[in-house]
């Protein structure tokens, strides 16, 4: 370590510096949210233009998610080798290519290919943005800053719903503009990434100590930077860095927690609303125009956005564990009521919308941000990228399964039966969090690592 570099460190850290770096990284979440939600409004027009069957509709909706699995599977290895920032830059270009490609297809195959590329970008970003933010953030506000990524995701979802609704009045060709509009934030994300630093933990792992120390100094100040630098060095020295280490007795438990939480976040059923909300309102509820069905999702996006702001400010006060349990229990109750409401013929639209809003609010306050925060916190530095990939692959795999089966499940056992199945998954989540998941609030990443060495 260069003594001159230490003496040149600022005496105090800058929260402005930390927040700006975190916000830029979280823009990938906005693109993530936009891309997964834009299909909600476009799917009605796609079904008409390409005369899609029910299965083809599920394929069109899930093609992005299959790409997410592929992107998540390579993100950890690539980021551990080339750095978090460089791979985020690559993902920004893929976001732009996908948004333009999905706007110009002549058939379903071309659409699926374009969406797959966007899914790879989302898979990469969904692994790396939380890792990057967790590795640059001070412990006291790490949960809040990692939650910025979820805040950006729900902002992207809301933006997609608003744009979908506005473009629904254009006519049958409006869906092309829905996808094309994502190119603008994609290029903005690309440009802004050149103004943020690399992860200090990754730099230390690469032997680039002076660069890492400078960044830590800007984050927490000179004296705290020295302490954190030594803690990170010690943590890295104690790790072998192999993926095989994840199956060692201690870290095996961390991997189990991350994978199970990732799967449970999806099988609780939230994405049935995010992906198929327009179809639910138009076909399952009935009597709704295309524009009003798409417009109902704007209310979903607004609630999702508002309650995520609440989560952003309480996650470091209340803690992860309590929020996750409250969130899953609230979703279970909401989905039970939804199942009852769908027994009516026709189902009451106001009741369906109201209960869906409550369900989304419960997800947004806990399972939405909380799972990503915990997944980003659980693992040692050297293998955090690979470990996060395993957990995120599990998440996207569960999401693909949910999206590929919802319409078929609703046809087979009815909307009531489908939502009751998801309610059971919510109750399983409450039990798992209560019995297995540790509280990580206020702990440094190195302190969390020590939990697995006991």
pLDDT tens-digit readout, 115-170: 999 999 988 887 788 878 878 877 777 777 777 777 788 889 899 999 999 998 88
pLDDT number for residue 384: 72
More confident residue, 342 or 392: 342
Once rounded to an integer, what is the mean pLDDT over residues 354-380?
88
DSSP 245: G
Residue 329 has pLDDT above 50, yes or no: yes
HSE toward the beta carbon, residue 237, CA cutoff 13 A: 6
Residue 243 has pLDDT above 70, yes or no: no
**Residue pLDDT, tens place only, 42-86:** 888 888 889 888 889 889 988 998 998 888 888 878 888 898 889
Predicted structure pTM score: 0.77
pLDDT number for residue 382: 65
| Residue 259 maps to a domain | yes
> Which tokens in the block code for residue 367?
């399972």
| Residue 287 maps to a domain | yes
Query: How many domains does the chain divide into?
Result: 1
pLDDT-derived band at 242, boundaries 50, 70, 90: low
| Residue 206 maps to a domain | no
Residue 336 has pLDDT above 90, yes or no: yes
pLDDT mean across residues, the chain: 84
> Which residue do the tokens 């609010």 mark?
361
Rounded to 5 degrees, φ, ψ at 452 are: -85, 0
pLDDT-derived band at 113, boundaries 50, 70, 90: very high
Asked if 200 and 214 touch (Cβ cutoff 8 Å), the reply is no
Residue 231 has pLDDT above 80, yes or no: no
Residue 4 has pLDDT above 50, yes or no: no
Once rounded to an integer, what is the mean pLDDT over residues 207-233?
78
- CA 385 vs CA 84, 150, 200, 202, 382: distances in Å: 9, 19, 14, 10, 8
> Which residue do the tokens 């979802």 mark?
157
DSSP state string for 6-37: HHTS-SS--HHHHHHHHHHHHHHHHHHHHHHH
| Residue 202 maps to a domain | no
Asked if 377 and 448 touch (Cβ cutoff 8 Å), the reply is yes
Residue 278 has pLDDT above 60, yes or no: yes
Rounded to 5 degrees, φ, ψ at 268 are: -70, -10
> Which residue do the tokens 């503009």 mark?
177
pLDDT-derived band at 241, boundaries 50, 70, 90: low
Of residues 294, 261, 262, 268, the one with CA closest to residue 419: 268
Q: Which residues contact 332 (CB under 8 A, 6 or more apart)?
A: 423, 424, 426, 427, 430
Residue 322 has pLDDT above 70, yes or no: yes
Residue 211 has pLDDT above 60, yes or no: yes
**Residue pLDDT, tens place only, 383-422:** 776 787 788 889 888 988 998 898 889 889 998 999 999 9
| Residue 221 maps to a domain | no
CATH number of the structural domain spanning residue 278: 1.20.1250.20
| Residue 270 maps to a domain | yes
Can you give the residue range of the structural domain that contains 75?
11-196+238-451
Residue 268 has pLDDT above 70, yes or no: yes
Judged by average pLDDT, the poorest of 82-96, 136-150, 428-442 is 136-150
């Amino acid at each position: 370590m260069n003594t001159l570099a230490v003496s040149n460190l600022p005496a105090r850290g800058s929260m402005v510096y930390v927040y700006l770096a975190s916000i830029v990284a979280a823009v990938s979440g906005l693109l993530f949210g936009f891309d997964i939600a834009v299909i909600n409004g476009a799917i009605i027009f796609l079904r008409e233009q390409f005369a899609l069957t029910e299965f083809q509709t599920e394929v069109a909706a899930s093609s992005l998610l299959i790409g997410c699995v592929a992107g998540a599977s390579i993100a950890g290895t690539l980021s551990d080798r080339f750095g978090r920032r460089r791979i985020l830059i690559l993902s920004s270009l893929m976001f732009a290519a996908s948004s333009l490609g999905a706007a110009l297809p002549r058939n379903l195959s071309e659409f699926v290919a374009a969406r797959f590329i966007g899914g790879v970008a989302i898979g990469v970003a969904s692994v790396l943005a939380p890792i990057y933010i967790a590795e640059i953030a001070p412990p006291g506000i790490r949960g809040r800053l990692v939650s910025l990524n979820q805040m950006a995701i729900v902002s992207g979802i809301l933006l997609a719903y608003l744009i979908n609704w506005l473009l629904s009045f254009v006519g049958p060709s409006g869906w092309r503009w829905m996808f094309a509009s994502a190119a603008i934030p994609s290029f903005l994300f690309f440009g802004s990434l050149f103004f943020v630093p690399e992860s200090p933990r990754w730099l230390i792992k690469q032997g680039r100590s002076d660069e890492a120390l400078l960044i830590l100094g800007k984050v927490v100040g000179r004296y705290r930077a020295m302490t954190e630098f030594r803690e990170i060095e010690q943590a890295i020295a104690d790790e072998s860095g192999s993926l095989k280490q994840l199956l060692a007795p201690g870290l095996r438990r961390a991997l189990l927690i991350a994978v199970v939480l990732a799967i449970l976040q999806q099988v609780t059923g939230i994405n049935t609303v995010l992906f198929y909300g327009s179809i639910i309102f138009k076909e399952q509820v009935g009597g709704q125009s295309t524009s009003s069905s798409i417009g109902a999702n704007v209310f979903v996006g607004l609630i999702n956005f508002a309650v995520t702001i609440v989560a952003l400010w309480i996650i470091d006060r209340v803690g992860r564990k309590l929020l996750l349990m409250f969130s899953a229990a609230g979703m279970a109750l909401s989905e039970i009521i939804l199942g009852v409401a769908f027994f009516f013929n026709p189902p009451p639209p106001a009741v369906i919308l109201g209960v869906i809003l409550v369900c989304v609010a419960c997800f947004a306050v806990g399972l939405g941000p909380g799972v990503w925060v915990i997944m980003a916190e659980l693992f040692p530095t050297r293998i955090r990228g690979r470990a996060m990939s395993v957990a995120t692959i599990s998440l996207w795999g569960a999401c693909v399964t949910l999206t590929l089966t919802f319409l078929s499940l609703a046809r087979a056992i009815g909307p009531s039966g489908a939502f009751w199945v998801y309610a059971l998954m919510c109750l399983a989540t409450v039990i798992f969090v209560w019995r297995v998941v540790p509280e990580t609030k206020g702990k440094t990443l190195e302190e969390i690592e020590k939990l697995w060495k006991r």
